[in-house]
Amino acid sequence: MASVTIKGIPESLLGSLRSHAAANKRSMNKDVICLLEEALSGHEVSQQAERQIAEWTKLAGRWISDLE
């Protein structure tokens, strides 16, 4: 497996990472990997949702409220 070194982490962020890892009963390394995976998979889900909304809009058109 590859290794990555991250330089210049602010102390406040480092403290937050330590606290998050401890709360999840994981090493800081494992917790950072999990956080990165979650963040990147969330982006993928967001892109899929945007594509789905675009497809629905093409099918249904835009809805304009007449309540205003």
Please tell me the predicted confidence (pLDDT) of residue 68. Answer: 64
Please enumerate in sequence order all residues whose Cβ is within 8 A of that of 20, keeping only pairs 6 or more positions apart, or say none.
31, 35
CA-based torsion, 25, 28, 31, 33: positive or negative: negative
Please enumerate in sequence order all residues whose Cβ is within 8 A of that of 28, keeping only pairs 6 or more positions apart, or say none.
17, 18, 21
Question: How many domains does the structure of the chain reveal?
Answer: 1
Q: Is the pLDDT of residue 64 over 90?
A: no
Residue 4 placed within a domain? no
- Scanning the chain, the segments in alpha helix (DSSP H) are 11-23, 28-60
Residue 36 placed within a domain? yes
Tens digit of each residue's pLDDT (9 = 90 or more) over 17-59: 999 999 999 999 999 999 998 888 876 767 788 888 888 888 8
Residue 39 placed within a domain? yes
Q: Is this structure's pTM higher than 0.85?
A: no
